[in-house]
Amino acid sequence: MDDFNQSSKNGLWGKLEDAVFDDVDVDDLKVSVFGGPVFQDDDRVFRRLKIAREFWKVLTFTEEGVLKAKAFLLTQNLNQLEALDLDEFRVFQITLSELQERTQLLFPAALHKGDTLVVPEAVADRTPLESLADIQWD
């Protein structure tokens, strides 16, 4: 589904990169974005390739000389793959540690230090972001 990362389609996922500029005084207007799929053992297979149900994105930037890192997770319902609509996608703000655990990727200590999100509940118990205003940039 190529629409979920398109900001012109009004999905939150495609607007994350722009949102940081709207809500944060980013030093030198520079943002680095990293992302990819979260593969799981029980992902559906199509033509011998896994179809990920989740994708991740990390935005890194500096604000007043301080490195910041914000992590996000997109989940999609693949029960009716042929009928996907943007309503099927859910975006969550997560901690870098949660992302590292989910993906088995290792992120540098400097990025972990720049991740200030504090969430008491597990991702499964959280409400997805409903708008860009729900993002915690501090």
Q: Write down the domain spans for the chain.
A: 2-134
Maximum separation of any 2 CA atoms in the chain, in Å: 48
Instruction: Decide: pTM greater than 0.75.
Output: yes
**Using one digit for the tens of pLDDT, what is the confidence trace for 9-65?**
457 888 998 899 988 999 898 999 999 999 988 888 888 988 888 999 999 999 999
Rounded CA separation 70/57 (Å)? 8
- Indicate whether 115 pLDDT > 60: yes
